[in-house]
A and B are shown apart, each in its own frame.
Chain A
């Protein structure tokens, strides 16, 4: 970790330089760097104005996360996406052998540019760190699936179960299980 980064206007190289850039830009916006599993650092790269990914699933692609099967390689993506005045969200997804997680949280719109919106994003990212560890512990049972989607439904499914559980806060519910 150098403490320096690529010149402004350039896209940093994949891997740690891109992680560093993401960390700095997010921190300046008041956001935590989302957890990045170490095996996904090498392929980590900036893909848009404020989006990053490692693996084949672009940020915000819920369908691709839901379609992930046992053979789907690990994938990570996050960033700020949206359109118009209020349709803006912080998105995060992670697909590992033990976890498929999709977050789409209001952030950066006319109704979501307040400290409470930042707090909600940061709280979700902190919980995600713990969920990754918890899901790994259940890996033998299969993959935990968690969807917290401001544009659709919020639900989760424990590893090895077919039962979908709706929740106002599926991250917290999955962690508490």
Chain B
């Protein structure tokens, strides 16, 4: 990265490295106690606010009942001094042997992929075999010492995984596409994340091609997302790709996503493939893998690059803590009929893509909308929780699976003509399996085929009355003659009144359009 680019880079503020470290760092940290909290040059957020003035009795009651921020502030009040426990350990012979093998592996792995011949790959495989043997000896020598056995097991598991990954690197048919842009270590990291080289654009999207970087675009204690502008003018969002997800969402495990190998990037790419197949690629981000250096470690990481969704998310929380559905227009000033038609078309098309993908996470924070005049852009983002192997039914993204339902219930009640034509003419094995098989496990692929076929049956059942060629002119069958907007809203927002007068989840709805815009459109006489 050039100096000028470095200067334009905004440093990240994440407190803890967002990515799982590679095995050598894991073991070195276990033994050498390297810091996980990185003191970087980031601009810190403002300090947390104190509690507001309270009646003395309340202050007393809070203090008696709980340990609070105020109490900790009073007692600590300054940044602590880390206990000095670094270094000065007597190393065992077995530790030194294991460490020597790690160094040998790292030396080979640091070489550029394109510079390696068959002999180098064989040498790497041999070095990994020797590391596996050294790790086994280390474990055996420290039997009964939990920490050291654990460290040995970590090295063993990682070395074995890397050996498998090494074979996958050599076998990838798109090897030539990446070989001049990454090291062997990075190639192995790709394979440990289930990444096919065909989905990588390391040539276009690396830090040498970046003209501006904002590492603080999305950041919290355990998350870091960068916004990067490249020489070709594209502005993309970069999210490092994890090997595993140790704190998986309950719904992700419920639909059968393996937390040990979630391959979230691949799920986003598969989602993009479905939307493209349906003729609506614009309703989800364009995605590929790229390289970007982690602001905390300085190391280049592999991650998913996505086009940034236009507009704003549907849901947000205001400063005083109220949950809000965003008002995309002022009351009494609804969008034009053209815009409403486009909103219906795009949101319903996203519904169709979501049911085929088995999307489980289309809450209002994962849906971005921009309405400007007659133009509308709908983008479904964060397509990680989908393509579960357990979900055979496209109508399964419902409370049947989890109480934390985030998708509108039911199959879409309308279908865009273009989506319909593509879907009913489509054959999963012919049109989608060749692309998806490199992204999903065989079980996930089988589940996707089931959802696809059932979605197709549902689409055929909607023909001809509910296939919409013109979203502005379409009317529901007589006698109702509802507009598309009114028809979707009438289909419900996903809730129904129960016998007690309260609300409970329903089993059908008018999809995202009705859930997120039904109330405002009805208020303004558009539905």
Contacts and interface: CB of A to CB of B under 8 A. Distances in A.
Contacts of A125: 69
B365 A81 contact: no
A13 interface: no
Contacts of A171: 321
Interface residues of B, number: 88
A82 to B, nearest CB: 6
A122 to B, nearest CB: 5
Contacts, number: 281
B185 interface: no
A9 B31 CA distance: 10
A115 B37 contact: no
A123 interface: yes
Contacts of A115: 45-46
Contacts of B78: 3
Interface string B83-107: 1111000000000000000000000
Interface string A101-141: 00001111111110111111011111101101100100000
A110 B45 contact: no
A80 B221 contact: yes
Nearest to A5: B80
A30 B47 contact: yes
Given A35-B68, A171-B321, A110 B237 contact: yes
Contacts of A20: 72, 76, 80
B323 A154 contact: yes
Interface stretch (B138-146, B309-317, B413-421): B309-317
A19 B66 CA distance: 12
Contact of A87 (B36, B37, B318, B384): B384
Contacts of A66: 403
B117 interface: no
A159 interface: no
B216 interface: yes
Interface stretch (B157-165, B243-251, B333-341): B243-251
A120 B35 contact: no
Contacts of B323: 148, 150, 154, 168-169
Interface string A26-38: 1111111101111
B442 interface: no
Size category, A interface: 35 or more
B483 to A, nearest CB: 29
B25 to A, nearest CB: 10
Given A81-B247, A86-B382, A8 B68 contact: no
A86 B313 contact: yes
Contacts of A50: 15-16, 220-222
B382 A62 contact: no
A70 interface: no
A87 B411 CA distance: 24
Given A35-B68, A166-B503, A151 B45 contact: no
A88 interface: yes
A68 interface: no
A4 to B, nearest CB: 5
A119 B237 CA distance: 25
A110 B225 contact: yes
Contact of B62 (A10, A88, A105, A130): A130
A83 B249 contact: yes
Interface string B174-212: 000000000000000000000000000000000000000
Contacts of B280: none
A30 B47 CA distance: 5
Contact of B33 (A8, A41, A63, A168): A8
Given A26-B221, A133-B62, A7 B85 contact: yes
B366 A86 contact: yes
A118 to B, nearest CB: 6
Contacts of B381: 84-86
Contacts of A49: 16, 221-222, 246-247
Contacts of B402: 63
B437 interface: no
B222 A62 contact: no
A48 interface: yes
Contact of A132 (B66, B216, B252): B66
A29 B83 contact: no
B244 to A, nearest CB: 12
Contacts of A88: 218, 220, 222-223
A8 B16 contact: no
B9 interface: no
Question: Shortest 4 CB-CB distances between A and B: which pairs?
Answer: A108-B220, A30-B45, A84-B382, A8-B35
27 contacts: A4-B80, A4-B83, A7-B82, A19-B67, A23-B72, A25-B37, A26-B48, A32-B48, A32-B69, A37-B67, A38-B67, A81-B222, A81-B249, A82-B222, A83-B249, A108-B218, A110-B237, A111-B218, A113-B218, A113-B219, A148-B323, A150-B363, A151-B404, A152-B406, A163-B502, A169-B320, A171-B321
Interface of A: 1-10, 19-20, 23-33, 35-38, 41, 48-51, 58-63, 66, 79-88, 90, 105-113, 115-120, 122-127, 129-130, 132-133, 136, 148-152, 154, 163-164, 166, 168-169, 171-172
Given A9-B29, A33-B67, A110-B225, 17 more contacts: A3-B78, A5-B80, A5-B82, A6-B83, A25-B37, A30-B48, A31-B221, A37-B65, A50-B16, A83-B384, A85-B239, A109-B218, A111-B312, A112-B220, A119-B49, A133-B61, A168-B323
